[in-house]
Amino acid sequence: MKKLLFQSTLGMVLLLFSSNLFAQDEDLLKLLGNEKTKKERVKYAFKSPRVINGHSMEFLNPGTMDFRILHRFGQLNQGYKNFFGLDQASMRMGFDFGILHNLMFGVGRSTYKKELDAFIKYAPIRQSTGPWSSPVTFALVSGITMDGTPWADPNRKNFYTSRLAYYFEAIIGRKFSEAFTLQIAPTMVHKNIVPFEKDPNNIYALGIGGRLKLSKRVAFTWDYTHVVIGMPDSGYYNPLSIGFDIETGGHVFQLHFSNSTGMNEKAFITETTSRWGKAEVRFGFNLSRVFQIKKKKVGK
Amino acid sequence: MKNLLVTILGVVITMNCIGQKYYTKNAKINFDATTPSSPEKVEGINRTATCVIDTKSGAMQFVALMKSFEFERALMEEHFNENYVESSKFPKAEFKGELKDNEEIDYSKDGTYTVKVKGILTMHGVSNEVKTDAKIIILNGKISATAEFSAKLEDYKISIPGLVADKVAKSAKITVSCSLEPLKN
């Protein structure tokens, strides 16, 4: 009796086993075992390589060119007489190029101070998932600006280098979710020449920028830079921009309000003279159009 | 004791009868939504889809990672992932179906067959029935299969905004080709 019980139990177990094998038949893909998770870059943290004014943790794709037209209008508090600032505009035209997934450069020209600027941006670490991944993107930006206005005093000995200023920036950013991205950007601006003797040549600042996606094509963005060391005593303020990114298929429109006029790092970090508190805010937009210069090879 | 032996034998036989499976992890899926009024090719290729076919039952399954679709234009790839298929929300496309006239195929010798395939395609979180013809070539113990069908984007709740509506086809042509090898358990 015992023996029979044992046999039938064994038989049942084996049957169960074999029916298990049949059950696996249902999902053939399971037969291949679990895929090893691969390291994968986290993409599309921002719609554009710029948050609003400042650089974002995102890069242009290799082989693309971003043609950027930036406008900053006059102050809203000018009222109807200047149509709330829209009668005046300051602009910057820029061309940015994506070389590698983590390397890009760009040049631009602003009407404000007739400034030329150029930068190079590189990310040694990009946010990724999977083995050996990094929770954040770490990017470095180095840029130069050149003032194009005539010399204030043509009679004194003027040096070409007096027109130049430099900026160095580190960006540490993370795309926390599909909707939310946050980054901080310690920045240093060096001006070769400053208006007054007591003004510092080196300015240290901390940028905080982010994005909150509201829908597939619209996002709320903000971009604030706090000057930590080196703000001149009076008349200068920290730049804050808030706005919306709207993606229309081929273009990205960044519509925003900001208290800064400048559109390069030196100008908006160290030369913002308006205040949010006094409604000295400007409407502005960045229009970005990405062109594919070199097509990616996907083959047949 | 005799009973036990019979049971074991029976189980062994059933296990053997489960039949041969063939698979690949490099199936190619081509996605084409170009229309005559598209200014550029709207075409993506995925080369790393997985496919398994059970030659005994004719059951077959496909799975493809949406993020693995590559486009010539980076912006198109971005829009594909971010706006259309929403690949972070719906990372995979899966097809589960069967070869209708499986018993007519002799997998043991070389030959070419055209068979009907029927199954369910799940993409962007929506499942729809797909029916198409597949061409199956048996050569030196390996199976090559190709199939083509079209998927209406609307059926998968993939919406195209009005601004680009005439530049993207309403229905995408999907071409699948793969070469399968025997799966060793």
Question: Which whole number is the average pLDDT over B133-160?
Answer: 92
What pLDDT is attached to residue A50? 95
Q: Nearest by CB to B83, which of A28, A178, A216?
A: A216
Per the DSSP assignment, residues forming a β-bridge with A41 are: A128
Q: What is the mean pLDDT of chain B?
A: 88
Check if A130 contacts B (Cβ < 8 Å). Answer: no
| Torsions phi, psi for B66 (to 5 deg) | -65, -35
Per the DSSP assignment, residues forming a β-bridge with A112 are: none
Q: Give contacts of A216 with chain B, Cβ < 8 Å.
A: 82-83, 86
Q: Which residues contact A23 (CB under 8 A, 6 or more apart)?
A: none
What pLDDT is attached to residue A86? 87
Check if A44 contacts B (Cβ < 8 Å). Answer: yes
Check if A272 contacts B (Cβ < 8 Å). Answer: no
Q: Give contacts of B54 with chain A, Cβ < 8 Å.
A: 25, 28
CB B135 within 8 A of CB B117: no
Question: Which whole number is the average pLDDT over A64-87?
Answer: 91
A271/A292 Cα distance (integer angstroms) = 35
Q: Which range has the worst mean pLDDT, A47-51, A94-98, B18-22?
A: B18-22
Angle at Cα B91 formed by Cα B85 and Cα B97, nearest 5°? 90
B152/B171 Cα distance (integer angstroms) = 4
Element at A266 (helix H, strand E): helix A265-270
B70 vs A298: CB contact, 8 Å cut-off? yes
Per-residue pLDDT band for B16 (boundaries 50, 70, 90) equals very low
AA identity, residue A96? D
Element at A13 (helix H, strand E): helix A2-26
Count CB neighbours of A110 within 10 A: 23
What pLDDT is attached to residue A34? 72
C-alpha A174: how far from chain center: 11
Condensed to tens digits (0 to 9), the pLDDT of residues A274-289 reads 999 888 999 999 999 9
What pLDDT is attached to residue A27? 77
Is the confidence at residue A45, as pLDDT, over 90?
A: yes
Is the confidence at residue B17, as pLDDT, over 60?
A: no
Q: Nearest by CB to B11, which of A14, A43, A178?
A: A14
Cα radius of gyration (chain B): 20
Q: Give contacts of B68 with chain A, Cβ < 8 Å.
A: none
Q: Which of A259, A239, A296, A279 is nearest to A54 (CA)?
A: A239
CB B130 within 8 A of CB B2: no
Q: Which of A184, A182, A186 is nearest to A169 (CA)?
A: A186
A204/A188 Cα distance (integer angstroms) = 5
Question: Which whole number is the average pLDDT over B168-177?
Answer: 94
Q: Which residues contact A227 (CB under 8 A, 6 or more apart)?
A: A203, A204, A205, A236, A238, A269, A270
The pairing of strands A180-191 and A202-213 is antiparallel
B70 vs A296: CB contact, 8 Å cut-off? yes
Q: How far does B126 lie from chain A, in Å, by closest CA? A: 18
Q: Nearest by CB to A298, which of B45, B63, B161?
A: B45
Q: Which residues between 92 and 121 in chain B have a beta carbon less than 8 angstroms from any beta carbon of chain A? A: none
Compute the Cα dihedral for A192, A198, A204, A206 and give only its sign.
negative
Q: Which two tokens stand for residue B89?
A: 């929300």
For A59, name the nearest residue in chain B, comparing CA atoms only. Answer: B74
Q: What is the ipTM of this complex?
A: 0.80
CA atoms within 13 A on the CB side of B79: 22
Alpha-carbon distances of A10 from A2, A22, A66, B16, B176, rounded to whole Å: 12, 19, 70, 20, 46
Is the confidence at residue A20, as pLDDT, over 70?
A: no
Q: Which two tokens stand for residue A57?
A: 């943790």
Is the confidence at residue A237, as pLDDT, over 80?
A: yes
Burial class (CB in 10 A: 0-12, 13-18, 19+), B121: buried
What pLDDT is attached to residue B42? 92
Burial class (CB in 10 A: 0-12, 13-18, 19+), A138: middle
CB A282 within 8 A of CB A256: no
A63 vs B70: CB contact, 8 Å cut-off? no
Check if A17 contacts B (Cβ < 8 Å). Answer: yes
| Torsions phi, psi for B67 (to 5 deg) | -65, -15
Q: Nearest by CB to B74, which of A21, A28, A292?
A: A292
A295 vs B21: CB contact, 8 Å cut-off? no
Q: Which of A16, A27, A32, A37 to mutate to test the interface with B (most CBs of B within 10 A)?
A: A32
Q: Which two tokens stand for residue B35?
A: 């229309």
B75 vs A290: CB contact, 8 Å cut-off? yes
A64 vs B18: CB contact, 8 Å cut-off? no
Q: Which of A229, A177, A174 is nearest to A199 (CA)?
A: A229
Please give the full DSSP string across A275-293, using - where no structure is assigned. -TTTT--EEEEEEEEEEES
Check if A16 contacts B (Cβ < 8 Å). Answer: no
